[in-house]
């Protein structure tokens, strides 16, 4: 599952795009096959750090394939469950990871309905949602000064205006730089 979370945090996929297929030839980008929108049909560049995680995940997959034997589903997904199928239940896995890391809050201790009955499961609320990993990716790019249209293309937004409306808070305050640039252009001294 580690590779899945790295891909969500560093490669712009939505959690619903997690079942991207392996390419026919090795590449540093992946084609999203089941996009949310038409603009989401895109090649997703994969940073070296994510590529390294995916290589580690591939080794885990090979062991899972051996262990699963004939039950293995050879569907050629990059991120799979232990039987080779597409990932399901990523939100629950994410919540388990958050609880182990202490990133969230536990609810009240449950009470038994009957003295000899089973103890109900204690509620855990993660400190953030799985989709927040993708939001972190977008926010970090914008805060680093990546042009909005480039970020919109990377994440598959139909229009850059949506990216601005959703993530405008992350855009650095550039008013001083803009005024300085305008001043330099308007009052450029020629020697």
**pLDDT value at residue 180:** 84
Mean pLDDT, range 78-98, rounded to an integer: 79
**pLDDT value at residue 155:** 86
Dihedral pair phi/psi, residue 8, rounded to 5°: -65, -35
Give the range among 10-19, 146-155, 158-167 with minimum mean pLDDT: 10-19
93 contact partners, CB below 8 Å, separation of at least 6? 1, 4
Give the range among 38-47, 54-63, 152-161 with minimum mean pLDDT: 38-47
**pLDDT value at residue 121:** 75
**pLDDT value at residue 66:** 94
Q: Judge whether residue 70 has pLDDT over 90.
A: yes
Q: Which of 146, 144, 163, 145 is nearest to 155 (CA)?
A: 163
Q: How confident is the model at residue 11 (pLDDT cuts 50, 70, 90)?
A: low
**pLDDT value at residue 148:** 92
Q: Which of 74, 94, 99, 92 is nearest to 84 (CA)?
A: 74
Mean pLDDT, range 101-107, rounded to an integer: 84
What is the residue extent of each domain of the chain?
Answer: 128-191
Q: What is the mean pLDDT of the chain?
A: 77
Q: Judge whether residue 30 has pLDDT over 60.
A: no
**pLDDT value at residue 107:** 79
Q: Say how far apart CA 181 and CA 89 lie, in whole Å.
A: 50
76 contact partners, CB below 8 Å, separation of at least 6? 21, 22
Helix (H), strand (E) at residue 29: strand 29-31
**pLDDT value at residue 24:** 43
What is the CB neighbour count within 10 angstroms for residue 166?
Answer: 15
């Amino acid at each position: 599952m580690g590779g899945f979370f790295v891909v969500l945090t560093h490669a712009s996929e939505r959690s619903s795009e997690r079942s991207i297929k392996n390419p026919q030839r090795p590449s540093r980008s992946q084609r999203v096959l089941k996009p949310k929108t038409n603009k989401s049909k895109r090649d997703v560049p994969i940073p070296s750090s994510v590529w390294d995680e995916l290589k580690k995940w591939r080794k885990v997959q090979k062991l899972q394939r051996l262990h699963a034997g004939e039950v293995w589903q050879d569907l050629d997904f990059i991120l799979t469950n232990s039987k080779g199928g597409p990932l399901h239940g990523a939100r629950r896995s994410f919540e388990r990871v958050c609880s182990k890391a202490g990133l969230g809050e536990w609810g009240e201790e449950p009470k038994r309905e009957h003295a000899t009955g089973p103890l109900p499961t204690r509620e855990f609320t993660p400190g953030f949602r799985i989709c927040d990993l993708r939001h972190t990716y977008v926010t970090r790019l914008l805060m680093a000064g990546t042009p909005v249209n480039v970020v919109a293309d990377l994440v598959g937004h139909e229009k850059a205006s949506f990216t601005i409306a959703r993530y405008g808070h992350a855009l650095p305050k550039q008013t001083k730089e803009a005024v300085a640039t305008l001043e330099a252009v308007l009052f450029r001294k020629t020697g």
